[in-house]
């Protein structure tokens, strides 16, 4: 009896100890994709998504080849906002960069990807291992955001102007398992080509976004659409009964 009592008591103590251990919170994976370039309203919204005061937000300028003027415009867009802006260049040297991409990017509260040449950006990220770091950041709960090339990169794929003459299909990181079309109404060739590629099965159904609108995804699920004005929208484009169906998504919030 004593032996049974002892085992029962030991088991109860183990259960009590396990119950008192803090449960590790599961990070929410968040992506904010907008259709055009960054601006102050979009950056304010990224700040709110971090749910932190004075968050560290890093700009990835790979798609423009780390263009100095583009980086300067990023700092100007962040001026006077309650955040700490950083830039992670991809064109670097071991002699001047003493921290790894992991060290820098995984210490941020949000990462914003700029526009430019999507195809070149994806190739450089894969060569540098930045694609793997971004996956780690996503799983860690670091907010990922961006427009144009910076929104297209989070999806399975879409159309890009990264090659001469014609728009072409490019593959993204696939964090969101749909296709995507930025600059939906501002560039006349985007919409008909997006329709054609989806209808022919070259692209999966997906989300199209006007330049001044954006979509929030959490854990790979559509959460809501936002816009900087009442004229900008987001859409879900699919095929129903052999025809392209464009569904207007309601704007849940107009950014001010």
Strand partners, 217: 31, 222
Q: Which domains does the chain have, with CATH numbers?
A: 2-254 (3.40.50.880)
**Of 101, 108, 133, nearest to 58 (Cα)?**
108
Q: Is the pLDDT of residue 206 over 60?
A: yes
Per-residue pLDDT reduced to its tens digit, 19-75: 555 556 789 999 999 999 889 999 999 999 999 999 999 999 999 999 999 999 999
Element (H, E) at 234: strand 234-240
**Confidence tier at 14 by pLDDT (50, 70, 90):** very low
CB-CB contact of 221 with 196 (8 Å): no
Helices (H) and strands (E) in the chain, counts: 8, 14
pLDDT at 20: 58
% of the chain residues with pLDDT over 90: 79
Using CA atoms of 17, 23, 24, 29 in order, give the dihedral in degrees to the nearest 10: 160
Q: Is the pLDDT of residue 254 over 60?
A: yes
**183 part of the active site:** yes
- Within 8 A by CB and 6+ apart from 134, the residues are 105, 111, 125, 144, 173
Q: Is the pLDDT of residue 157 over 80?
A: yes
DSSP string, 91-134: S--TTT--S-HHHHHTT-SEEEE--S-HHHHHHHHHHHTHHHHH
**Confidence tier at 16 by pLDDT (50, 70, 90):** low
Q: Is the pLDDT of residue 162 over 90?
A: no
pLDDT at 152: 96
**Confidence tier at 10 by pLDDT (50, 70, 90):** very low
Per-residue pLDDT reduced to its tens digit, 90-108: 998 777 887 899 999 999 9
Per-residue pLDDT reduced to its tens digit, 227-250: 999 999 999 999 999 999 999 999
Per-residue pLDDT reduced to its tens digit, 168-178: 788 999 999 99
Q: Which of 148, 151, 225, 232 is catalytic?
A: 148
**Of 228, 250, 186, nearest to 43 (Cα)?**
228
Residue corresponding to tokens 């879409």: 158
Compute the average pLDDT of residues 135-157.
97
Q: Is the pLDDT of residue 111 over 50?
A: yes
CB-CB contact of 142 with 89 (8 Å): no
Q: 135-149, 183-197, 237-251: which range is least confident on average?
A: 183-197
Q: Which of 90, 162, 180, 183 is catalytic?
A: 183
């Amino acid at each position: 009896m004593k032996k049974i009592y002892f085992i029962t008591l030991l088991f109860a103590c183990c259960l009590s100890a396990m119950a008192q251990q803090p449960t590790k919170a599961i990070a929410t994976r968040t992506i904010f994709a907008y259709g055009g370039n960054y601006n102050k309203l979009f950056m304010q919204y990224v700040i709110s998504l971090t749910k932190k005061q004075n968050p560290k937000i890093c700009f990835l300028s790979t798609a423009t080849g780390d263009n100095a003027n583009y980086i300067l415009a990023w700092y100007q867009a962040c001026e006077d906002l309650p955040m700490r802006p950083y830039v992670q260049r991809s064109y670097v040297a071991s002699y001047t960069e003493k921290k790894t991409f992991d060290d820098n990017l995984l210490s941020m509260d949000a990462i914003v990807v700029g526009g430019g040449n999507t195809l070149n950006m994806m190739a450089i990220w894969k060569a540098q291992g930045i694609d793997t770091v971004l996956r780690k950041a996503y799983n860690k709960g670091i907010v990922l955001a961006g427009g144009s090339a910076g929104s297209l990169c989070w999806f399975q794929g879409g159309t890009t102007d990264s090659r001469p003459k014609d728009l072409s299909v490019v593959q993204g990181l696939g964090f969101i398992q749909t296709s995507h079309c930025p600059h939906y109404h501002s560039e006349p060739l985007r919409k008909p080509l997006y329709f054609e590629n989806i209808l022919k099965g070259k692209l999966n159904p997906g989300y199209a976004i006007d330049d001044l609108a954006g979509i929030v995804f959490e854990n790979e699920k559509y959460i809501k659409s936002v816009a900087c004005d009442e004229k900008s929208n987001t859409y879900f484009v699919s095929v129903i009964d052999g025809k392209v169906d464009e569904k207007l998504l309601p704007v849940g919030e107009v950014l001010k």
